Every structure is written in structure tokens, then in C-alpha cells.
Amino acid sequence: MEVKMVKPKTEEEIELMRENAILVSKTLAEVGKVVAPGVTTLELNRVAETFIRDNGAIPSFLGYDGFPAALCISVNDTVVHGFPSDYVLKEGDIVSVDCGTLYKGYNGDSAYTFPVGEVDAETRRLLDVTKESLYRGIAAAVDGNRVGDIGHAVQSYAESFGFSVVRELEGHGIGKRMHENPGVPNYGRQGHGAKLTDGMTICIEPMINAGTRGVYLAENGWEVHTADRRNSAHFELTVVVRKGRAQQLSTFEYIENNVKF
């Protein structure tokens, strides 16, 4: 199989992307502060768009292939690409918030799934396992490995809990464009796929379903739902492939230090 070569970023580019990734991380934390029963998903979108613009950046999802909002907000059985709406969050929901910004010519892209109030134990486990599967994937994002090593790490961890991996969507390279090569699937075989080299910037973003892995596309052509209507979680970080250990550009520390769950 021919694998397209991907050019690593320069250290100057990585520094710009780090600034951007921090802005995305802080935006997600601002959204997390207002996630609660009784709040509409449009309100979450408004908070994010205001924060992004106040910080001199552009919400890059808005208008991307015609997407209508600054955030993708995906509740419960919506896997990704949900539209902010007048839906009112209720106790026990989970809400995945995916945020992209354009800043100084580069893109940032990260996502976090928030519990709304108290969620049941199985849902809490889905969130914890999905996030940990992302960290397992990041641990595999080292120079000399291949994208299949990342996918294998995510998949083997998530499936060991009886959860399933969405196959129709995947992570990606990122830079001047939001989606660059290589694609970074959340499943795969060790030692297979595009080679990872020092300085490559990629988004790893497991989408993990509580039930079966099947999904379908809503009539609006965007929103992806689980086929069995059970919950799905989504966590995404931007990292730099390095020798020995990947470097995280975005972080959940603003969320997890500011928001009590």
C-alpha cells in the first residue's frame, strides 16, 4: 500500500499551533462552566463563539462546508457534528463539544464530552474509558511508529470494556488546514499505516459507542447518530509526534481544574 508522505512542521509553526491549541482548550473550559441542566446547546455555542472572537481568533467550523455554527454539539446518541439548537440539556445527558479555531494562520481542534449533572455509572465509565483511550493513543504517537499503532492502542483499550469504536470517522493531521494527512483511525493493526515522524501535528479523536459500532447520518447530512441510539463519547486532543514521547498541544487541564463533575 502506498502511503502519502506528510511534511513535519517547523518549530516556529508548532509554537503558533500551541498558542492556538491553548485557546481551544480554554474555550472548551468556558463552555464546561455553563454546561448544566436547563441550558440550551445554542447557549453553549454562543459562549464559545464570543470567547473565540474576544481572543482574536475565528471559529473555524462556522461555514466549514456550510456547517452552521462555531461548535459541533452532540448530545447522547449523537456521535459528532451535531448542530447547536434550542434543545435543553437535562440531568443525565452527555454532551460532546467539538471546537475549532483559526488563529495566526493555523488551526486548532479539540473535543470533550461533558456529563450534565449526575450521570449513571455506565455512562460515567463510557466517558472515562473514551478519554483514557485517547491518552493510550497519544502514548503511541511517537516517531517511528505508524498510525495503526495509535488506532490499535485506542481500539484495544475501548473494546476491553465492551465498548465499540466508530470506524466511519477518524483523526487527522492538522496545520494550515484543519484536516491534513495522515488520517488517524481509532482502530487498526500495529505496525501498519502511515509512518509517524518527529514534528508531525495530528489530532487523535476516539469516538466510542456504549453499544454497537454502527452509525447513520441524519437527514441534515451532518449529524452522525449511533444505530442503536445508545450513547457515544468523543474526546480529541492535538499533539506533536516526537521521539520517545508525544507532546500535547491542547489540554483538558483548564476544564478539569475549573469544573467540578
Q: At closest approach, how far in Å is the CB of 236 from Mg ion?
A: 5
- Contact region with Mg ion (CB under 5 A), list: 15-23, 49-57, 196-204, 237-245: 196-204
Query: C-alpha grid cell for residue 73?
Result: 454539539
* Residue 98 in the binding site for Mg ion (CB under 5 A): yes
Please give the backbone phi and psi of residue 18, each rounded to the nearest 5 degrees, phi first: -65, -45
DSSP structure string for 180-244: EEEEE-SS--TT-SSBP-TT-EEEE--EEESS-S-EEE-TTSS-EEETT---EEE-BEEEE-BSS
* Residue 170 in the binding site for Mg ion (CB under 5 A): no
Peptide bond preceding 59: is omega within 30 degrees of 0, i.e. cis?
no
* Residue 109 in the binding site for Mg ion (CB under 5 A): yes
The single residue among 29, 165, 202, 203 that binds Mg ion, judged by CB under 5 A, is 203
Query: C-alpha grid cell for residue 178?
Result: 484543519
Q: At closest approach, how far in Å is the CB of 237 from Mg ion?
A: 10
* Residue 73 in the binding site for Mg ion (CB under 5 A): no
Cβ proximity to Mg ion: between 72 and 153 the closer is: 72
Q: Total residues at the site for Mg ion (CB under 5 A)?
A: 5
Q: Which DSSP category does 7 fall into?
A: P
Cβ proximity to Mg ion: between 120 and 240 the closer is: 240
User: Which residues of this protein are in contact with Mg ion, per CB under 5 A?
Assistant: 98, 109, 111, 203, 236
